[in-house]
Amino acid sequence: MASFLDFRNISKSYPGVKALSDVSFGVAKGAVHGIMGENGAGKSTLIRILSGDQPANEGTIHIDGVEQKYASARDAFDAGVVVIHQELQLVPELTVAENLWLGRFPNKGGVVNLRALTHQVAAKLADIGIDIDPAQKVAKLSIGERQMVEIAKAIMLDARIIALDEPTSSLSSRESEILFRLIARLKAEGKVILYISHRLDEIFQLCDGLTVLRDGRLAAHHPDLEGVTRDQIIAEMVGREIIDIWAWRGRPIGDETRLSVDGVSGHFLPQPASFKARRGEILGLFGLIGAGRSELLRLVYGADTRRTGTVTVDGKAVSGNSPRKSVEAGVMLCPEDRKFDGIIQGRSIEENITISARRNFSPVGLINPSKEADLAERIIKQLRVRTPSRRQDIVNLSGGNQQKVILGRWLSESNVKVLMIDEPTRGIDVGAKAEIYELLYGLAESGIAIVVVSSELPEVMGISDRILVMCEGHIAASLDRSEFNERAILAAALPDRSSAPANEFDKVAAS
């Protein structure tokens, strides 16, 4: 079958980095085509070139047989290309309706009828099965809801080619089902869907074919997936076989309580919650979307104001209710949303690593460039951050390397006692996942208490020593590793456990 979208000999270089080298493959009309590869393999660069965000140094893109010559992202948009990035491109202070019409507001005499616009969006959202209030400001939406708004935007633009970058990384099971139905609908309409994901189950479920990138080169191209195995794809991605990605290893965990959370509640978590984490323990926190996992971590850290409760580290109460006080007490948080709450955009890797630790070697308020450089170089080497220079803008890194930098920020602190990490491997490839798990085990072995929030049940079961299950804002169960059981964990996580049909467990597990 002839290709509708063709990448021909695409190459792209940045200072010190060859991001893509002679990449060529095609995708047929009405096909869902997967793109996989480790973080830094070149996936995002390829999509930026497709979207007109960046030019290729060499090579061409052909759509329906016509070579595309973009001068800007607007040219790609006019050619029918829409990219939904993993780091969402919405304006928080505008409504859902305004975001969906942004840049192309229908108007009469220069006046926009917002009421009519909102009604049109409501009808369209209802048609595609997305239950979100179009008059709601995007800032008030969850990350999963924002992702659904981005997807709705692509559909409303009637694009010919839609690239989805890790689209289910923030979606609930129900939202993922809606997305999969929409993809089937778009495929039936003859659209080309590029589906970038690290979730192999989704690739096999949705995709007709698959392209694998490794180190900026084409590692494999499968026009169809018949006979292709999971292990084969992993080997193509990383150049080696990964048998046990979690590679959990036991360690002595004493009875000493490192973190004690007693009766903590807040605006987004009205029911008081209590738990303890021991020295050297990896404590998993699992629950369905909306269960209150991230909200609990933010309250413990002081990112959101606590209404009730206390936080104690090594038997000493954390004074005050702020991130600064938490850091001083040795409590660190790697947030769920790397883009808005984690990295400092427009700043270098070095600055992102050293921003918190500066006070330790700048006692009089004067920055010490030499010590900052030494610290950044040590962390980059220790965590194997893929970058040509510590001075590289952090936004140019892949998601996995950005996550390593955020971890490195806290490793640069000398008094880390508790590390809370929310969705540690969201949007990260299998190779980088294994590296992050290894890092967490090492930190636990040094005596740090690790609290991990994850939406992926296999992950939280694979790396945790103990799991707390949250349901509707409260802790519903606590299980030691010897008690881990997928069905029991999901039973505790489901809001209406008494009446849930048997197949509901399988549905949630599959997500």
pLDDT (tens digit per residue) in 217-262: 999 999 999 999 988 887 888 775 555 678 898 898 978 999 999 9
Q: Which of 93, 152, 96 is nearest to 119 (CA)?
A: 96
Angle at 241 between CA 236 and CA 243, to 5 degrees: 135
More reliable by pLDDT, 336 or 465: 465
Q: What is the 3-state secondary structure (H, E, C) of 194-256?
A: EEECCCHHHHHHHCCEEEEEECCEEEEEECCCCCCCHHHHHHHHHCCCCCCCCCCCCCCCCCC
Cβ atoms of 434 and 249 closer than 8 Å: no
202-240 CB burial, b ≥16 within 10 A, e <16: bbeebbbbbbbbbbbbbbbbbbeeeebeeeebbbbbbee
| Sole residue written with tokens 């080309």 | 192
pLDDT value at 503 more than 50: no
SS3 content of the chain, % helix, strand, coil (to 5): 35, 25, 35
Say which range, 33-47, 170-184, 247-261, has the weakest mean pLDDT.
170-184
Q: Report the pLDDT averaged over residues 84-104.
A: 80
Q: Which of 164, 135, 216 is nearest to 47 (CA)?
A: 164
Distance CA 443, CA 419 (A): 9
Structure letter (DSSP) for residue 322: S
11: number of CA atoms within 13 Å, CB side? 9
Q: Which domains does the chain have, with CATH numbers?
A: 3-238 (3.40.50.300), 256-330+416-511 (3.40.50.300), 340-414 (no CATH)
Distance CA 456, CA 486 (A): 11
pLDDT (tens digit per residue) in 417-437: 999 999 888 767 677 788 889
Say which range, 29-43, 204-218, 339-353, has the weakest mean pLDDT.
339-353
Distance CA 174, CA 251 (A): 37
Cβ atoms of 350 and 373 closer than 8 Å: yes
- Residue 39: pLDDT band with limits 50, 70, 90: low
Angle at 384 between CA 383 and CA 390, to 5 degrees: 95
Q: Report the pLDDT averaged over residues 400-405.
A: 82
Residue type present at position 58: E
Phi then psi dihedrals of residue 141, to 5 deg? -90, 155
pLDDT (tens digit per residue) in 159-171: 899 999 888 876 7
